Structures are given as C-alpha cells and as structure tokens.
Amino acid sequence: MTQNTSDLLRQYTTDVLDPDSPTPLYHQLFTMLRDCIVGGVLKDGERMPSEKELAESFNVSRITARRALHDLSTRNLVARHRGRGTFVSYRYRPKPVNAPLLGMLENLEMMGRATRIKVLGLHFAFPPAPIADLFDLPEKQKLCQIVRVRSAASMPFAYYESWTLGLEKKDVSRSELVSRTRLELLRQANINIDHIEQTLTAKAASPQEADALGIMPGKPLLMLVRRSFDEKDQLLDHLYAVYNPDRFQYHMTMSPDGTAEVKAH
C-alpha cells in the first residue's frame, strides 16, 4: 500500500460513511473513492486499498468494498489485475476556456456549448422573501426559476439555481435549456444585461446539492453568486451556483494595466 493510500485511510474514518443514510454504503464508499481519484488525491497508476483494507478501515463488509471497487472499474477509474491488486487508471487533463474579463458573457457561452446540461426544474413561481427583496418586487409577482446540473465527460461538476425577471413561458422550455445557453434565451427575450456583480466563496455541499453532483454531503464546494442588472440598475437575474472543485477551477490572471484573463476549467 502506497503512502498516499495510507494517508487516505488515516484521513477518512468510518465517520465518512453514514449507515443510516438511504444511500447504500457501497455507493457512499464508491463516491468518496471516486472523488479522491478525480481530485488527484489518488493518482494515475497508484495502487488502491484492497477489499480487506477498505473493509477494515471503513467498518464495512468485504462485499460492500468489492462492490465499490467494481463500480470504479466499470467507470474506467481503476484497473483490477488478478494477483497484483487494483490501480488508479484515471488522469485528469483540464481543457481551459479562455476569454478576457470584458468578454465574460462570451466566455460563459463557450463553456455552455462545450458541456452538457440536465434540467432539474423549470417553474414560474413566487420567489422566497430574500430573493424577492433583492429584486425589489411588488407582492404576488412571479419569477422564472430554473434548476440545472452541468456535466463534462458525463461527470456533473456544477449545480445552478436562477431566478429571472422578464422571462415568460413562451420564452423558455426544458428542451431549449438543454440545446441553448441561458444567455441566448435571455437575449431572445429582450432581457438586456448592462453590468454584472459576482461573488466567489466556499460552502459545504447540502444534501440536495450532493445528490445532484454525485458527491458526499458536506464536501467543500466553490460557491458563486452572480447578479445581472440593466442600465437602470434593476436586478434582472440572480444566479446561485456551486461547483465541485475536483472538476472545476476558476482562475484569473491580471496585469498592471488592469486587463485580465479568466480561465474556467
């Protein structure tokens, strides 16, 4: 067993798995090991813990450990060799999307076309009070709420919830949200964005977010809040997004003259 594997088993205790969760133990173990592989904790070519080592470290049966390793193998994340053990067979090679900061909207559209969207919800609803207050709306005014998950190479990496003023039912559908970027739909509906405010921070994955992203609840995520305004400073769109940092990074390079380059990958 390699040093990385030893460190892994020391870092992750039996507390990582919740026997009272409706999610089977083998899938909880699979999810944790998958995140370690995709995030580079366990590197390409490294020997994985054996069924016996996993069972003892996480207080599960060998059948549970065997199922978790099998699921990793079926997703081509590990290769199992009789008599030698199981080895990581995944190397993450990010493909950055580059654009000047002034072209942030175009950069977002490029990312939208290069990835895949699953729509979890599309509703016209009364927003909760904190959202309604941001829009400074009169009572009983509905907004368009959209909940989505974005994936790359069949791996979900982002969870989005947006509230938009001015979108009507004729302007948007589930099929259009899959085939077109949301920015394109906003433009088509004559919702013209003049400026954007954006905040980046971190948070722990909620159960809902963890389920959508296929990760363990409580995992640290990158959180983005983006608010888009018109020329009169009226809020048009409020976007809340969380990203799995194992699969997504937001990198900015700035020069002394004030120009900037953004890389999201």
Is residue 14 very low, low, confident or very high in pLDDT (cuts 50, 70, 90)?
Answer: very low
Q: Where are the alpha helices (DSSP H) in the chain?
A: 3-11, 25-38, 51-58, 62-74, 104-114, 129-135, 174-179, 182-188, 207-213
**Could you give the residue range(s) of every CATH 3.40.1410.10 domain in the chain?**
97-264
- Return the pLDDT at 10: 57
- The lowest-confidence range among 73-77, 108-112, 151-155, 198-202 is 108-112
Checking if the pLDDT of 254 tops 90, the result is: no
Q: What is the mean pLDDT of the chain?
A: 80
Q: What string of DSSP letters covers 68-80?
A: HHHHHHHTTSEEE
| Per-residue burial over 222-241, b = 16 or more CB atoms within 10 Å of its CB, e = otherwise | bbbebbbebeeeebbbbbeb
Gap between the Cα atoms of 39 and 28, Å rounded: 16
Is the pLDDT confidence value at 238 over 90?
yes
Alpha carbon distance, N-terminus to C-terminus of the chain? 32
What is the per-residue pLDDT for 250?
A: 65
| Residue 249 pLDDT greater than 80, yes or no | no
Name which residue leads in pLDDT, 162 or 107: 162
pLDDT in tens, 165-216: 999 999 899 999 888 888 888 989 999 888 988 888 888 888 889 888 888 8
pLDDT higher for 62 or 17? 62
pLDDT in tens, 167-179: 999 989 999 988 8
pLDDT of residue 82: 84
Rounded to an integer, what distance in angstroms lies between the CA atom of residue 54 and that of residue 21? 19
- Per-residue tokens: 175: 């099929």
Distances in whole angstroms, Cα of residue 49 to Cα of each of 7, 10, 16, 78:
11, 12, 16, 11
CATH architecture of 3-88: Orthogonal Bundle (1.10)
| Own/partner pairs, 165-171, CB within 8 angstroms, 24+ separation | 165/135, 165/137, 165/191, 165/234, 165/235, 165/236, 165/237, 166/190, 166/191, 166/236, 167/143, 167/191, 168/124, 168/144, 169/124
Residue percentage of the chain with pLDDT more than 90:
26
Reported as a pLDDT band with limits 50, 70 and 90, residue 138 is confident
Whether residue 43 is predicted with pLDDT greater than 50 in this model: the reply is yes
pTM recorded for the entire structure: 0.62
pLDDT range class, residue 91, cuts 50, 70, 90: confident
Q: Is the pLDDT of residue 109 over 60?
A: no
Residues in the chain: 265
Give the closest residue to 221 by CA, choosing from 230, 212, 229, 209. Answer: 209
Q: Among 5-19, 126-140, 244-258, whose mean pLDDT is lowest?
A: 5-19
Name the segment(s) of the chain with CATH classification 1.10.10.10: 3-88
The CATH H-level superfamily of 97-264 is: Chorismate lyase-like (3.40.1410.10)
Confidence of residue 140 (pLDDT cuts 50, 70, 90): confident
**155-164, strands of its sheet edge to edge:** 116-125, 143-152, 155-164, 235-243, 220-229, 195-204
The pLDDT value recorded for residue 64 is 94
Distance, in Å, from the CA atom of 67 to the CA atom of 70, rounded to the nearest integer, reads 5
